Chain A
């Protein structure tokens, strides 16, 4: 064989190799066959189907058809969306596999001006215009059941990847259980909009329904339940708001409702501002002194949840700024605006909330295995007596008496683990179901968060009511309802994945230094106050004696005090500046260790070895 021939043969080989490479990588990528076999190395098995999801898929009665609309062409230049699309498609395939033929998945490309595009719009999918041509990108899911009921995920945001499984499971579950769920609201507070005026004497118009409930009525059948009701037969979820002195018969009924697997949501409060106590002309103080607390002690304590209706939570970190009587902005430590830091990120009902507002909330206690926190205060919080809050005109006093107790207080939580009935002997001749292994109970230690004034403003916009919310209280309630009226399987599925893993160490340092700062600040402020007071006294005594000339001693004293005042102020500034010093120092140390330490050690080793080698050579030379 000539050399030339051999060479060209080799070149052909190279070409074949290139073709093999491209073909195989396309097949690997596009077929999806290879992604079936995967090892999930993440700690929380992010990519493995939850048992709850598998159960939901197993119990599909009639065919559910999932349509994934994805604009293939229009997303060519958006790899991020395409990658996520691949993930969703893989996941749907996985779902289909566990669906026993009852779940059908199809993928549709709604090209511009096509029938599919109209279909996508009809289902209510969201179209995002992207690219230079402003082409519409559809990336959503529309699912239908045998009754042609439709459930939609309008657009699959890559940022919501952590909740993909929950969203899809919920979608399938809803289609499988399409009837409207019934929510019973047991309360004396006028929240549903159908209540009579609180005080018939005042002749006011019937109270407007709170927007939370107006929103719930869109998806649920919301009914009022009398506070002396003893049967909750066709209710899926019972909401007990601000319960006061419920009769044993009613308590027994609630208890048995839960023992039989009913879903319960309880709102108790040490001081419900929304409770409207009628004024008594005979005793003007009665309105102020009225007990605005509520409790469900008999049931909650039996179930292992403690609630003290005389204590409220004050939190220095997550408080709201209000106007003081003097018109200056001050922090009201008992009216709180809770941000993401206070949420249990692993619980699905807290997902996508950014702010939750509460007013004079109480605190729930319970073992770790018993009470799963949903919302808790920061560590810069404490408990204080509720009663003085009625007369509190200047919230600064809260700030002055504040001393963080370094523990978080649970404001809302989920009951978990097996519970026992509070009526083991039954009641009034009725026997009781004794235990419930998977109770579905959420307890919230604030009633006010249900009320409009804490989270939403209704505006009249050309004759239409428009709501603009400044907190997510409504979304929180809707989340809990959606979650709790779903099946137990659905509740099992928790958010996963992108849950935050903060630097605990840094946070500890931050807390400590803030604590230290606050202490020093308090001491210094105290000193400053004393100094100023003494200065004032000295000057006043001067005025009283009506002497124009100060004694040298007095002058010296004044000078000394002024000096001290300056020093204290300087120290205060210093302390403030040092607040982040420790954290920055730790950062610098870590940067040094990670960037320079190993290179330095390596250099030392290399230099040492080089030196030894040259020594050895030298020795050999001498020999």
Chain B
């Protein structure tokens, strides 16, 4: 536990040592605001909720989270640092968890900085704040899922750009699973239960149901398993790549 704490601190401070972290946060804030107000018409539709804001989160994360995740491991591998890390008396899983948690905390900070929106809708009307809290939780879980995928992909390649692109593609597929195009593609050759299985792995269905305001054990478990599986996969991938 202590190890993880230390790793999280080290990683987080390394984020803020360069201006890139700030650039990321600024881009996230501006984009989420622009999407909510100009594409989602948050003000014009006159409803005191944050639906137009949260609806765009999956698509915002699709590009921003892989950008955070891409440097998690590829940088260490590229610089050869990883060999050093692995010789330290720290469990591999601690590294994986620590790096992931740091990145997740970082995204959480960006998310928290959207607080003016909550104040705005409370100023304008009488929103359902329970629903807003649930939506923030859903959004954070979604970001966690994306990050876990990104972490695994980042461990698999030395090249950050490749890691970024691959992560975007995989996250995109997870978003789309459950959408007609993807399902039709699989339906051509796979039996129905496979199609159903693919549909139930979609990020969107779970995210949507949390943003409705109910924290369902099923949805939380889905994200929990999603994160756990990809993080464990990260440690296996590191193992596989160690020899190379």
Residues of A participating in the B interface, judged by any CB pair closer than 8 Å = 3, 6-7, 10-11, 13-14, 17-18, 20-22, 24-26, 28-30, 33-44, 46-47, 76-77, 79, 83, 500-506, 587, 590-591, 593-599, 602-603, 606, 610
Contacts and interface: CB of A to CB of B under 8 A. Distances in A.
Contacts of A606: 19, 22
B29 interface: yes
B190 interface: no
Contact of A43 (B128, B179, B200): B128
**Contact count band on B:** 35 or more
B200 A40 contact: no
B124 A505 contact: yes
A77 B180 contact: yes
A42 to B, nearest CB: 4
Contacts of B214: 38-42, 46-47
8 contacts: A20-B225, A28-B200, A38-B217, A43-B129, A76-B195, A503-B43, A594-B37, A603-B22
Contacts of B240: 7, 10-11
B46 A14 contact: no
Interface stretch (B6-14, B85-93, B100-108, B130-138): B130-138
Contact of A591 (B29, B43, B200, B221): B43
Given A14-B233, A17-B233, A501-B48, A595 B34 contact: yes
Interface stretch (B59-67, B74-82, B112-120): B112-120
Given A501-B128, A598-B114, 18 more contacts: A18-B229, A26-B196, A26-B200, A26-B201, A35-B216, A38-B214, A43-B128, A46-B213, A47-B214, A79-B204, A79-B205, A501-B125, A502-B46, A503-B48, A590-B37, A594-B36, A598-B116, A599-B26
Given A29-B200, A595-B30, A503 B216 contact: no
Contacts of B199: 29, 79
A34 B125 contact: no
Nearest to A610: B19
A41 B200 contact: no
B209 interface: yes
A40 B217 CA distance: 11
In order of increasing CB-CB distance, the 9 nearest A-B pairs are: A34-B218, A595-B33, A29-B200, A42-B213, A37-B217, A41-B130, A503-B124, A77-B180, A501-B48
B166 interface: no
Given A25-B200, A502-B47, A36 B217 contact: yes
Contacts of A591: 33, 37, 43
Contacts of A594: 33, 36-37, 114, 116-117, 120
Nearest to B187: A76
Contacts of B130: 41-43
Nearest to B131: A42
A29 B236 contact: no
Contacts of B197: 22, 25-26
B243 interface: yes
B232 interface: yes
A24 B224 CA distance: 11
A14 B155 CA distance: 14
Contacts of A599: 25-26, 29-30
Contact of A504 (B124, B208, B226, B237): B124
Contacts of B15: none
Contacts of B208: 83
Contacts of A35: 216-218
A599 B30 CA distance: 7
A503 B46 CA distance: 5
A17 B131 contact: no
A501 B47 CA distance: 6
A501 B122 CA distance: 11
B29 A598 contact: yes
A26 B199 CA distance: 9
B43 A590 contact: yes
Contacts of A11: 240
B215 interface: yes
B103 to A, nearest CB: 19
B215 A38 contact: yes
A503 B44 CA distance: 10
B131 A43 contact: yes
